[in-house]
Structure 1
Amino acid sequence: MESGGALNGSAAAGRFAAAGTAALGALMALLIAVTVAGNALVMLAFVADSSLRTQNNFFLLNLAISDFLVGAFCIPLYVPYVLTGRWIFGRSLCKLWLVVDYLLCTTSVFNIVLISYDRFLSVTRAVSPVMQGNTKQAVLKMVMVWVLAFLLYGPAIISWEYISGRSIIPTGECYAEFFYNWYFLMTASTLEFFTPFISVMFFNLSIYLNIQKRTKIRLDIFHEVHNQSFTEEMETTSATSLDAKEPLSTSSESSSKPKCSNKKSCRNSASTLSLEKRMRIVSQSMTQRFRLSRDKKVAKSLAIIVGIFGICWAPYTLLMIIRAGCHGHCISDFWYETSFWLLWINSAVNPVLYPLCHYSFRRAFIKLFCPKKLKIQPHDPLQNCWK
């Protein structure tokens, strides 16, 4: 993302040439291929499978679009810059590249916040995760993510040199004019990383605590109802036994107190009532267990996404702020460049999280690659497709 200023011209070119330009170029080509192919697959699955078109999955689609453009536009333009140590595409394309690069990476962050918030509502506020009727609302939120991401850096990249009256970018280099402005970077980082990261941590923790609370309540209710059912069954059995032993005395007693025709029918009636109550308890328990299982999977997938998000973004953000404060003298170029490459690696990793954490996406991928086996045994598509 905020990467152009990390390179130090000819020094970078010499270092990379000594280390093996061909190997570095091959790794970059591999990263581009994985990023483009993975996110293209997510978008294709969304288009091909209508069951994926829920509100939360629209946000996943928005994330895939931004990550796809990172691999298709941002990284390819940066590769020659890394390998040669010189920006060869001119100032106009430099600004366009910077605007798009900052925009896409910021959009990825905001999309993760939006995904986290939507799942937070679906778990803690009992809002259904399948919201087919809210397509327009989902699209509006997606557009707002792009607008806010552009406003955070776009105007500054475009107009900074005109407001300050001069440009500090040397010929042959490409980075933002505010690259060493500590105050601006601190403010932008707060909005781009610290606030979003704290938000998604809060959402994830709330989901976890909510699931723990509901699990405890479910177990308490189940034990209470089960004990009550057992007590009632014992009372019914006892009453049936006494009733069966009681002699048929007078006709007045027979008319005032209805009895079963025989001992066997009484026992069958009590057993039927007990069975119905048990079935009702089991049904309610299974429903609650299914909901909790679904919510646990939501929390698990969200925790994985948030964890990788933090690993990929925290080093860059911290090093960027420190580097700006000491004007690039206290952080080596190597570690800074490594940290911002993690941002682009995040765009390659995100598509892998979908098939691992979302059954709906796994099923859509299988539908694309082995539809015949999915039709043969739809109850176990994963085993049929990958064995």
Structure 2
Amino acid sequence: DSLGSSDFCSRPGPFSAAAAALLAALMGLLVLATVLGNALVILAFVVDRSLRSHGNFFFLNLAIADLLVGGFCIPLYIPYVLTGEWRLGRGLCKLWLVVDYLVCTASVFNIVLISFDRFISVTKAVRAGQAVLSCKELGMIIVWIAAFLLYGPAILSWEYIAQKSILPEGECHAEFFYNWYFLMIASTIEFFTPFITVTYFNLSIYLNIRKRTSLRNENISPGQEDCEMSFQGKKREHTIFFVKPSNRHKHEKRASSLSPPIKAPRLRLHKLSRDKRVAKSLAIIVCVFGLCWAPYTLLMIIRAACHGHCVLHSLYETSFWLLWVNSAINPILYPLCHMSFRKAFIKLLILKCEHTSPQHHSSVSSK
């Protein structure tokens, strides 16, 4: 018996011409934004060597996963949405399902890695050596293997193990579409555990920064704070005095004696300021991740438990698209939250403008 053809969550028929045109335009814009945004992140890594730090490679891994969402998953799904029928065959349906589940899960696992890396850098103050870098490169590979193992084997072999298929002709979804037990276990691994983990990392970072800020405020006296703030002024003052030969060594000694007690607090203040920016960016990523994934995960479990009879298809479909919207938002978060990415993107745009500007070519040729 077909479970997908007559239930409350069955796919709607074809849209009207106006509605189909509007949906196609919106979905096309989403594809364009996802592909261009994540391609820009990847290109920034190729062009700007300063971005190739150990932590930023996790952003590269995330961008690759999100690029596949925009370049492969969404385009194949658009005709399915507009016509209400899968017309690309069972083989391509299987491939689409494997890639879609793979890249979405890999995107989640990469967010966990990014959060863990920020947690270590802020709370443990570990400087990444070659051994740490190698472990993190291994972690990037493990992300893809784990993401495939979570859903891939089930997608490929479920109907053979169950010795029957519940997939109606003209539809494309996983055979475990209504298996509540499997989806509950998979969702725990794919969403609930990662979300709790990144929330823990974010909270730990916040408490660590709060503690350090409190200690700094307690330990720094008003006189020391004034000394730090007036350091540049005093530096200029000593430079003027150095002109006098007779006082040169005396003032050099005085300047060197002022530097050490000032330098350490300034470095600590710089690290604290950097860690606050890290915490802010991580908090934004976690919040966006939760908002995009929570509706789909909850509706998926509810729908599976009641075999689609208690969830409107339009509501479930909207939550499903939120997962892909997350892939378009992720590359926007990088320049907003990270100065290094912002500089790299500006550099790329300037280079593009210089190469495409007719005035630039004419001025070069005239010279």
Question: What interval of TM-score do these two structures reach, taking the shorter chain for normalisation?
Answer: 0.7 to 0.9
Q: Secondary structure at the match of 2:172?
A: coil
Which residue number corresponds to residue 76 of structure 1? Answer: 75
Instruction: For 2:130 and 2:49, locate their aligned partners in 1 and report how far apart those are by CA, in whole Å.
Output: 10
Give the conservation status (yes or no) of the 8 Å contact 1:63–1:108.
Answer: yes
| TM-score of the aligned structures, taking structure 2 as reference length | 0.83
Q: Secondary structure at the match of 1:370?
A: helix
Q: Given the superposition, is the C-alpha separation of residues 370 and 56 from structure 1 closer, same or farther in structure 2, using an over 3 Å criterion?
A: same
By how many angstroms is 1:283 displaced? 2.1
Q: Given the superposition, is the C-alpha separation of residues 7 and 277 from structure 1 closer, same or farther in structure 2, using an over 3 Å criterion?
A: farther
Instruction: For 2:111 and 2:59, locate their aligned partners in 1 and report how far apart those are by CA, in whole Å.
Output: 8
Q: Secondary structure at the match of 1:40?
A: helix
Which residue number corresponds to residue 41 of structure 2? Answer: 42
By how many angstroms is 1:349 displaced? 0.4
By how many angstroms is 1:140 displaced? 1.5
Q: Secondary structure at the match of 2:307?
A: coil
Aligned-CA RMSD value: 2.7
Instruction: For 1:371 and 1:174, locate their aligned partners in 2 and report how far apart those are by CA, in whole Å.
Output: 44
Instruction: For 1:64 and 1:184, locate their aligned partners in 2 and report how far apart those are by CA, in whole Å.
Output: 28
Which residue number corresponds to residue 13 of structure 1? Answer: 13
Alignment of 1:206-355 (within 5 A): 206-223=204-221, 226=224, 278-355=258-335
Matched, 1:370 2:350: yes
Q: Secondary structure at the match of 1:162?
A: helix
Instruction: For 2:132 and 2:262, locate their aligned partners in 1 and report how far apart those are by CA, in whole Å.
Output: 34
Q: Secondary structure at the match of 1:297?
A: helix
Task: Write out per-residue CA displacement over residues 118-166 of structure 1, whole angstroms, 9 at most, x where no aligned residue.
Answer: 11000000013x6577554332211100000000000000000000000
Task: Write out per-residue CA displacement over residues 223-249 of structure 1, whole angstroms, 9 at most, x where no aligned residue.
Answer: 29849x9xxxxxxxxxxxxxxxxxxxx
For 2:96, the aligned partner's letter is W
Which residue number corresponds to residue 166 of structure 1? Answer: 164
Instruction: For 2:289 and 2:224, locate their aligned partners in 1 and report how far apart those are by CA, in whole Å.
Output: 44
Aligned pair partner of 1:152 in 128, 137, 150: 150
Bigger Rg, which one: 1
Alignment of 1:37-186 (within 5 A): 37-128=36-127, 134-186=132-184
Which residue number corresponds to residue 192 of structure 1? Answer: 190
Task: Write out per-residue CA displacement over residues 266-286 of structure 1, whole angstroms, 9 at most, x where no aligned residue.
Answer: xx98x9988766543332221
For 2:119, the aligned partner's letter is F
Which residue number corresponds to residue 377 of structure 1? Answer: none
For 1:35, the aligned partner's letter is T
**Size of the alignment, in residue pairs?**
329
Instruction: For 1:340 and 1:224, locate their aligned partners in 2 and report how far apart those are by CA, in whole Å.
Output: 55
Instruction: For 2:132 and 2:114, locate their aligned partners in 1 and report how far apart those are by CA, in whole Å.
Output: 15
| TM-score of the aligned structures, taking structure 1 as reference length | 0.79
By how many angstroms is 1:115 displaced? 0.5
Deviates more, 1:360-369 or 1:218-227: 218-227
Instruction: For 1:371 and 1:219, locate their aligned partners in 2 and report how far apart those are by CA, in whole Å.
Output: 44
Instruction: For 1:12 and 1:277, locate their aligned partners in 2 and report how far apart those are by CA, in whole Å.
Output: 78
Which residue number corresponds to residue 380 of structure 1? Answer: none
For 1:127, the aligned partner's letter is V
Task: Write out per-residue CA displacement over residues 72-127 of structure 1, whole angstroms, 9 at most, x where no aligned residue.
Answer: 00000000000000000000100010000000000000000000001100000001
Q: Secondary structure at the match of 1:12?
A: coil
Instruction: For 1:103 and 1:372, locate their aligned partners in 2 and report how far apart those are by CA, in whole Å.
Output: 33
Give the conservation status (yes or no) of the 8 Å contact 2:8–2:308.
Answer: no
Which residue number corresponds to residue 231 of structure 2? Answer: none
Give the conservation status (yes or no) of the 8 Å contact 1:13–1:82.
Answer: no
Q: Given the superposition, is the C-alpha separation of residues 286 and 294 from structure 1 closer, same or farther in structure 2, using an over 3 Å criterion?
A: same
Instruction: For 1:337 and 1:367, locate their aligned partners in 2 and report how far apart those are by CA, in whole Å.
Output: 39
Identity fraction in percent? 63
Give the conservation status (yes or no) of the 8 Å contact 1:186–1:321.
Answer: yes
The answer for unaligned runs of 5 or more in structure 1 is: 230-264, 375-387
By how many angstroms is 1:183 displaced? 0.3
Give the conservation status (yes or no) of the 8 Å contact 1:355–1:362.
Answer: yes
The answer for unaligned runs of 5 or more in structure 2 is: 228-245, 355-367
